[in-house]
Amino acid sequence: MTPKAGASAGAGAEARPPPHAPRAAAGHQTGARTSRNSIGGGGRASLELGNIQMMQRPRRASEDEIRALLERTTRALDKIVKIRESMEDFVDFSDYKTTKTVRIKSAKLGSARASSRTSASSLGTVKEHEQVDHTRTSPASSYGSTDASSISDERSSMMIVDGCSTASTHSSTGSLPEYGHKQTDGRLLDHSEEYDEDCESTISSSSVSAFKEARLERLKNIEISFHEGMPKEFFQAMARFLHASLEVKTRHSRFSFFKDAFVGSDAVRNLIGDGYAEDHPTALRYGNVLVKLGLIEHVSRTDDQLHNSKDNFYRFTKALDHGNGEFYGTDMNTRMSINANNYRESVVARESIASQTFDFEEASDQVHALVTDETLAVIAKVLHKVFERKNKLLFYKGYVGCFLGAEAVNVMRELRLATSLIDAIFIGQCLLDEGIIEPIATTVSSFQDKYIFYRLTKIRS
C-alpha cells in the first residue's frame, strides 16, 4: 500500500462516526421530547386547577352575600316584632289585617247610632209628620224614622259604595247600565263578603237605615223559597203581569180548541220587552219556573217547559193570586189623568212640602219577601223600560230619568207588581232606601204617591 492510500483510508476512518453514535443522539432527542411533554402536562393541570379556584371564589362570595343579607333581614324582622309587641297594649292590630273583608262589629252599634238621631218612635206606631223648612223630612212609619241628616248621610254613603265600582250618577252615556250587580248599600254584610279596601272606610254599621232594619226583622218570620236566584213572590208578580198584558182567548190547533189560552212566544216577548228578562234564554228559564210553580200550564198538561213558539198554548191556573181587585179598579180615571207632561210647578212645590205618612206594618208579607236586592234591580229596569216606552221620563232641573211618584205607582199597578197601594208605596220606599231612585226636591226624603219628582240614579246623562 502506498502512503497516499493509507492516508486517505485513515481520513475516511476518522470521518465516520462510531456505530453507536446515532442511537445515542436519538436517545437524547427522545429524552428532550419526554421532558417537554411532562412540563406541558403539568402546566395544563395547574391551569385547570386555577380555573376551578377562580370559579369557586365568586360562588363563595355570592353565598357569603346571601348569608349576610339573610342575617340583616332576620335582625330587621326581630326589631319589627319587638316594636309590635311593645305597642300591643296601645294599638288593636286586628283592625289592620290585609284581608279585604268588611266588618261590621255589631248590629247594635248601628241601631244605637240610628236611634240617637231619631225621635222616640216604635214598631207598630205611625210617627206624626214634622215639617222642616229647606231640609229633607224623614219618612214617618211604623218602621221608625231618621232625621234629615241621617238620611242624607246614609244615602251619600250608599252612593260612595256604589261609586267604588261605577261612575257617578251625574255623568254618563245615555243608557241604563246593568242593575244586576249585587247592591251593598245599607245592607248588613256577612263577614265572608269581600270588597275593595278603598271602600272599607266608607261602610259602617250606621249605613243600615232603621227602615231596612225593620224590613230584615220582619223577614225573620217569613219563609222564602228561591228559584233561579229570585224569590217565589217575584214569579207570582211576573205571572200577574203576564195575565194583565197577554191576549187570553180561545185558540185552535188543527181540529182542537183551547179556551182562555195564550201563546208561548207572546209571553217570552213581553218578559223581554218590559225588562223582566234580559234575553230569550233568561225568559225561557223564568217561564219554566212559572210552569214548575203551577202558575201556568201547557194546554196538553204533559209539557213542563215554556216554548218560544206560536204553536204552543198555555193557560193560567187557579193557583195564581190576582191580588186586590179594589186596588186595580178604584179611581182608575183619576189615576190615569196623572201626567208629568201636564204638571204645574206650583203643584209640585206644594206637594213636596206636605208629605204623607204610611204604616208599613200593614204591607203584606208577600211584598216583604219580594223586595230582595236582585228583585229591586229588576224592578228598576222594568220601571225604566215602561217609562221610556210611554215617554214618561223627563229632563227636570238638570237631571235625566225623572218621573212622578204617582206615575210609578200607576206602573206598579198596571204591571201587577203590587197588590195594594201600601205595597206599591213600600216598593217605592225600598227603591229609595237602596239609592236606586232619589227625590229631586231637597224637602223630600220618602217615596210619595204624589206629584213629586224622583229620578232613576242609574241612568246616565
The pLDDT tens digits for 298-311 are 999 889 999 999 99
Say if residues 271 and 351 touch (Cβ distance below 8 Å).
no
Answer yes or no: pTM beyond 0.75.
no
Highest mean pLDDT among 36-40, 181-185, 192-196, 275-279: 275-279
Q: Which long-range contacts (CB under 8 A, 24 or more apart) does 179-182 make?
A: 179/377, 179/378, 179/380, 179/381, 179/436, 179/458, 180/374, 180/377, 181/377, 182/373, 182/374
> Cβ–Cβ contacts within 10 Å for residue 193, how many?
12
Return the minimum-mean-pLDDT range out of 103-117, 145-159, 274-288, 344-358: 145-159
State the pLDDT confidence band at 62, using cuts at 50, 70 and 90.
confident
CATH 1.10.10.10 is right for the domain spanning 107-221+324-456: yes
**Grid cell 200607576 in the structure block, residue:** 410
Question: Of 338, 287, 339, which Cα lies nearest the Cα of 314?
Answer: 287
The whole-number pLDDT of residue 50 equals 63
Class of the domain covering 230-316: mainly alpha
Give me the helices (H) in 137-279, please: 148-163, 197-200, 210-219, 232-245, 264-273
Q: How far is the C-alpha of 363 from the C-alpha of 429, rounded, in Å? A: 12
**Grid cell 220601571 in the structure block, residue:** 383
State the pLDDT confidence band at 104, using cuts at 50, 70 and 90.
very low
Looking at residue 129, the DSSP 8-state letter turns out to be P
Q: How far is the C-alpha of 274 from the C-alpha of 246, rounded, in Å? A: 12
The whole-number pLDDT of residue 53 equals 64
Say if residues 436 and 457 touch (Cβ distance below 8 Å).
yes
Return the minimum-mean-pLDDT range out of 93-102, 119-128, 235-244, 335-344: 119-128
pLDDT tens profile 383-431: 999 999 988 888 888 899 999 999 999 999 999 999 899 999 999 999 9
For the chain, where do the domains classified as CATH 1.10.10.10 start and end? 107-221+324-456, 230-316
Neighbour-count burial for 380-402, b at 16+ CB within 10 Å, e otherwise = bbbbbbbbeeeebbbebeebbbb
> Cβ–Cβ contacts within 10 Å for residue 344, how many?
9
* Cβ neighbours of residue 439 closer than 8 Å, sequence gap 6 or more: 136, 432, 445, 452, 453, 454
DSSP string, 7-26: HHHHHHHHHSPPTTHHHHHH
Give me the helices (H) in 202-293, please: 210-219, 232-245, 264-273, 280-292
The whole-number pLDDT of residue 150 equals 39
Average confidence (pLDDT) over 53-72: 79
Judged against a pLDDT cut of 60, whether residue 173 lies above it is answered with: no
C-alpha cell at 179: 242593575
Judged against a pLDDT cut of 70, whether residue 188 lies above it is answered with: no
**Grid cell 288593636 in the structure block, residue:** 92
State the pLDDT confidence band at 192, using cuts at 50, 70 and 90.
very low
Judged against a pLDDT cut of 70, whether residue 217 lies above it is answered with: yes
